């Protein structure tokens, strides 16, 4: 959430224009199929669509019934079916099946596929191979950018990370380039572009080509500089437990397109409620957010286990009583805090954070390993155990004594499945989960993934060179945070954000050769005109492969410090769970 600014800070451009453009184009496309139609929407598109054109709007344009795309026969009786989908072969195959089953029973309908943000040739091939190419019309809905907040824009492409970095498939490079092109067209032209990472370079080149072919326009630019960064330049940051509020909420409740659904245990009613988590949410303006963070920090630091809910309720009611009119939202957030604390206490959050911080620092590694072993054995949460293993692997540069043995520990738990523990004992839910997690292919994939991640990782050296771990001399006062480490309770400055800070300061990569070598190169900087008309203090940062709320908070802090504004453009909001799920879903 954007916070109070320095008075001389530049203003942000208005990104609501992006929503209007997307909406208008969608309506136009829907009108290309005149008459009543049923609309099938890809599950991933439901939340973004909701932010662009709600059900009422759709119905105003002759959409009759709305269905979620599910890979099973359709029950719709409409004569016209419209499919709004991401260009996935699996989905297109299903649509082809729908058309073919209609044909088989002699049913005639009109079918329209709207691919978004673009269609892929492989999808067309499927239609052709299935003999339905001539039966459907297809269009592209160029919906590239969804503003999630004043300073956050998302491509809503979580698959970007897996496709690009794990599968090595460059299908979304042009898409990212097109997103940049759109922003450039509406809010540019950009002055300088910096970047690091193989994908960043490709996206830059794609964008450059697209811009060269496009219209030239002189305009008053709203965005000055651009920074492109690959997710795999910094894997460590997204794997850390988040302690900034949105990060916590995302970790526990999964924020979707800037809003989160709080269940009955939070709302204290029997209903769930969707809450927008952005600047429009008045509870989080200015001091409130900071106070909450500080309070949270205080609680976390308390040595004793368990946190006092009564105290928190009192604090929040006391300190934030000025916002009485926001009471309803307030109580929702209190409910969320309660829920978070319950879950975190169960997992002994303090111990966990302590271990993480030690890993980041490279301190007391043996204790960390013991903790991780314990964690695996207690079977509290396999994803958490996995996350810690990854963190260990990356920070210790893949020292095999850590990883192989811990993985084998996970294996050993699974082996309990091979042998009867005691007569009559059945598999617990956890054991089946573990079994699924560490089956044949996954174990192999995990070891491979770890070793390839670790091979590229020079975290320890980078951390020293960039001073990512603040000195633990004086107590870190969160009330007066002095650097970006405050978003991780003073323990660690996110590598990605530090890089951005440094490159902007130096206006390039000169003098940073040592660092770029440790990051496996692919850095670039394209200087532009030093014209004063270019707002040098508005910087667009594009994360290719995802960005966390912690990084967003860090950049907001940096912006406040330097009197500039960062706009975060990301292929998707991510966190450790989503990252790991990509890793695990990546079946050989």
Partner 1 sequence: MKESKRAVSSILVDDDDDDDDDDDDDVEKVSWSGEPVGTFSEASTRVYAPELRKPKSECKDYFSDWSPEETVKRMRKGKVYSLERFRSLQDKLLLLDEAVSAHDGNVITAVLIYLKKSLSKEIFFQELMVREIALRHYVHYLKEMEEQKTLVELMKLPFSQDDAIHVQDHYTLLERQIIIEATDKKGEAEIFKKFPRKASILNMPIITTLYYSCFYHYGESEGTFSSPANIRSTFRISEKQYILTALGARAKLKSWFDVDSLFNTKNWLGYTKKRSPIGFHRVVDILQKNNAPVQVLKDYVSLIDDAELKLSLAQKYKCHDIVIEMYRDLKDRQQLIVYQGKVERGSHEDRKIDQLLGNMQIRWKN
One residue of 408, 451, 520, 536 binding partner 1 per CB under 8 A: 408
Cα Rg of the chain (Å, integer):
25
Cβ proximity to partner 1: between 169 and 514 the closer is 169
Q: Where are the beta strands (DSSP E) in 145-263?
A: 146-149, 152-154, 192-196, 225-230, 259-262
Omega within 30 of 0 (cis) for the link into 189:
yes
Residues 6+ apart with CB under 8 A from 348: 305
One residue of 213, 270, 318, 475 binding partner 1 per CB under 8 A: 213
Cβ atoms 203, 544 nearer than 8 A:
yes
Cβ atoms 108, 137 nearer than 8 A:
no
Q: Is 134 in the site for partner 1 (CB under 8 A)?
A: yes
Q: Is 90 in the site for partner 1 (CB under 8 A)?
A: yes
One residue of 418, 474, 475, 511 binding partner 1 per CB under 8 A: 418
Q: Is 174 in the site for partner 1 (CB under 8 A)?
A: yes
Closest separation between CB of residue 388 and partner 1, Å? 17
Name the one range near partner 1 by CB under 8 A: 315-323, 336-344, 410-418, 560-568: 410-418
Distance CA 580, CA 239 (A): 9
CA atoms within 13 A on the CB side of 118: 15
Closest separation between CB of residue 445 and partner 1, Å? 11
Cα–Cα distances in Å, from 106 out to 98, 99, 101, 109?
12, 10, 9, 10
Q: Where are the beta strands (DSSP E) in 300-384?
A: none
Q: Is 137 in the site for partner 1 (CB under 8 A)?
A: yes
Site for partner 1 in 154-173 (CB under 8 A): 163, 167-173
Buried b (16+ CB within 10 A) or exposed e, 515-524: bbebbbebbb
Distance CA 507, CA 527 (A): 8
Distance CA 118, CA 87 (A): 7
Q: Is 202 in the site for partner 1 (CB under 8 A)?
A: yes
Closest separation between CB of residue 330 and partner 1, Å? 46
String of contacts with partner 1 for each residue 104-133, x by CB under 8 A: --------------x-xxx-xxx-x----x
Closest separation between CB of residue 359 and partner 1, Å? 19
Report strand pairing: 152-154 vs 146-149: antiparallel
String of contacts with partner 1 for each residue 422-461, x by CB under 8 A: ----------------xxx--xx-----------------
Closest separation between CB of residue 227 and partner 1, Å? 20
Other beta carbons within 10 Å of 155: 24
Cβ proximity to partner 1: between 536 and 586 the closer is 586
Closest separation between CB of residue 404 and partner 1, Å? 6
Closest separation between CB of residue 505 and partner 1, Å? 30
Q: Is 140 in the site for partner 1 (CB under 8 A)?
A: yes
- Residue 391: closest CA among 252, 544, 237, 545: 237
Distance CA 222, CA 10 (A): 10
- Residue 255: closest CA among 483, 552, 559: 552
Cβ proximity to partner 1: between 179 and 249 the closer is 179
Residue-level length of the chain: 588
Closest separation between CB of residue 116 and partner 1, Å? 14
| Site residue total, partner 1 (CB under 8 A) | 50
Distance CA 379, CA 377 (A): 5
Q: Is 363 in the site for partner 1 (CB under 8 A)?
A: no
String of contacts with partner 1 for each residue 34-73, x by CB under 8 A: ----------------------------------------
Q: Which residues pair with 229 in a beta bridge?
A: 196, 543
Q: Is 356 in the site for partner 1 (CB under 8 A)?
A: no
One residue of 25, 80, 116, 138 binding partner 1 per CB under 8 A: 138
Distance CA 220, CA 189 (A): 8
Cβ proximity to partner 1: between 28 and 513 the closer is 28
At CA 572, angle to CA 198 and CA 536, rounded to 5?
70
Cβ atoms 382, 447 nearer than 8 A:
no
Cβ proximity to partner 1: between 117 and 188 the closer is 117
- Residue 127: closest CA among 117, 142, 112: 112
Name the one range near partner 1 by CB under 8 A: 83-91, 268-276, 297-305, 452-460: 83-91
One residue of 89, 305, 314, 467 binding partner 1 per CB under 8 A: 89
Provide the binding-site residues for partner 1, judged by CB under 8 A: 88-90, 118, 120-122, 124-126, 128, 133-134, 137-140, 163, 167-174, 202, 205-206, 209, 213, 373, 377, 401, 404-405, 408, 411-412, 414-415, 417-420, 438-440, 443-444
């Amino acid at each position: 959430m954007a916070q109070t600014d320095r008075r001389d800070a530049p203003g942000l451009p208005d990104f609501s224009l992006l929503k209007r453009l997307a909406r208008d184009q969608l309506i136009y496309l829907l009108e290309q199929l005149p008459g009543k139609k049923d609309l099938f929407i890809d599950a991933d598109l439901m939340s973004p669509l909701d932010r662009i054109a709600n059900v009422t709007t759709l119905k105003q344009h002759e959409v009759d019934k709305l269905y979620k795309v599910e890979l099973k026969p359709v029950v719709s009786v409409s004569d016209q079916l419209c499919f709004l989908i991401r260009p996935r072969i699996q989905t297109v195959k299903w649509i082809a099946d729908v058309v073919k089953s209609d044909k088989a029973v002699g049913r005639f309908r009109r079918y329209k596929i709207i691919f978004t943000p673009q269609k892929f040739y492989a999808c067309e091939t499927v239609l052709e191979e299935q003999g339905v190419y001539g039966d459907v019309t297809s269009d592209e809905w160029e919906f590239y950018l969804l503003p999630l907040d004043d300073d956050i824009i998302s491509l809503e492409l979580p698959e970007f990370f897996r496709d690009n970095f794990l599968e090595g498939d460059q299908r979304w490079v042009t898409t990212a380039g097109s997103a940049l092109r759109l922003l450039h067209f509406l809010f540019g032209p950009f002055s300088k572009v910096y970047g690091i990472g193989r994908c960043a370079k490709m996206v830059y080149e794609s964008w450059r080509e697209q811009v060269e072919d496009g219209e030239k326009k002189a305009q008053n630019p709203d965005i000055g500089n651009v920074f492109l960064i690959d997710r795999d330049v910094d894997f460590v940051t997204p794997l850390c437990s988040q302690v900034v509020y949105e990060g916590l909420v995302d970790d526990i409740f999964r924020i979707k397109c800037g809003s989160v659904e709080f269940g009955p245990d939070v709302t204290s009613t029997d209903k769930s409620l969707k809450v927008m988590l952005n600047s429009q949410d008045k509870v989080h303006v200015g001091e409130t957010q900071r106070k909450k963070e500080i309070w949270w920090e205080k609680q976390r630091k308390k040595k004793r286990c368990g946190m006092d809910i009564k105290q928190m309720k009192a604090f929040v009611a006391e300190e934030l009583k000025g916002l009485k009119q926001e009471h309803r939202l307030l109580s929702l957030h209190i409910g969320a805090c309660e829920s978070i604390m319950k879950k975190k206490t169960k997992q002994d959050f303090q111990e966990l954070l302590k271990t993480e911080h030690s890993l980041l620092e490279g301190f007391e590694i043996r204790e960390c390993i013991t903790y991780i072993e314990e964690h695996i054995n207690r079977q509290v949460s396999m994803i958490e155990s996995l996350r810690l293993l990854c963190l260990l692997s990356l920070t210790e540069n893949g020292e095999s004594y850590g990883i192989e043995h811990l993985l084998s520990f996970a294996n050993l738990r699974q082996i309990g499945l091979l042998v009867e523990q005691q007569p009559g004992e059945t598999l617990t839910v956890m054991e089946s989960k573990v079994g699924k997690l560490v089956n044949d292919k996954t174990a192999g994939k995990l070891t491979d993934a770890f070793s390839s991640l670790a091979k590229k990782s020079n975290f320890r050296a980078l951390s020293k060179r960039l001073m990512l771990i603040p000195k633990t001399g004086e107590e870190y006062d969160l009330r007066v945070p002095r650097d970006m480490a405050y978003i991780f309770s003073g323990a660690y400055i996110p590598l990605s954000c530090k890089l951005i800070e440094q490159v902007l300061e130096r206006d390039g990569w000169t003098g940073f050769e040592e660092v770029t070598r440790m990051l496996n190169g692919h850095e670039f900087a394209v200087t532009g005109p030093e014209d004063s008309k270019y707002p040098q203090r508005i910087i667009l940062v594009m994360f290719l492969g995802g960005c966390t709320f912690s990084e967003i908070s860090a950049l907001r802090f940096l912006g406040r410090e330097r009197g500039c504004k960062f706009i975060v453009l990301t292929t998707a909001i991510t966190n450790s769970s989503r990252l790991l799920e990509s890793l695990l879903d990546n079946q050989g």
